[in-house]
């Protein structure tokens, strides 16, 4: 899955108010990946990622960097529902 496709998923999720966690899960499925494998590659526990994506906790700089790297350089928090993707 290329950068444009990932951005399209994230923009669509944001436009329809889909929680970021669910949008990221859809991206993983489209990439034939699992969210649990993504978290292992990022070096964080799945619950840590879920809480950060849900806005329950602020994501660490490390998490933002590693997840962005896994998503072709895209910071998914720029696409949180109610957020803005102007920085993209």
* Average pLDDT of every residue of the chain: 90
Could you report the per-residue pLDDT of 38-54, keeping only the tens digit for each? 999 999 999 999 999 99
Please say if the pLDDT value at position 82 is more than 90.
no
Does position 22 have pLDDT exceeding 50, yes or no? Answer: yes
3-class secondary structure, 18: coil
CATH T-level assignment (fold) for domain 3-78? 434 Repressor (Amino-terminal Domain) (1.10.260)
The total of other beta-carbon atoms located within 10 Å of residue 14's CB is: 20
Report how far residue 54's alpha carbon sits from residue 20's, in angstroms, rounded to the nearest whole number: 7
Q: Is the dihedral of CA 25, 50, 45, 61 positive or negative?
A: positive
Residues 55-73 pLDDT 10s: 999 999 999 999 999 999 9
């Amino acid at each position: 899955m290329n950068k444009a496709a990932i951005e399209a998923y994230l923009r669509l999720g944001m436009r329809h108010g889909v929680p970021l966690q669910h949008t990221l899960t859809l991206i993983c499925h489209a990439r034939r990946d699992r969210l649990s494998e993504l978290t292992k590659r990022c070096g964080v526990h799945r619950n840590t990622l879920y809480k950060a994506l849900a806005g329950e906790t602020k994501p660490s700089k490390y998490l933002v960097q590693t997840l962005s790297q896994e998503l072709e350089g895209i910071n998914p928090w720029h696409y949180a529902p109610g957020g803005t993707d102007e920085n993209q």
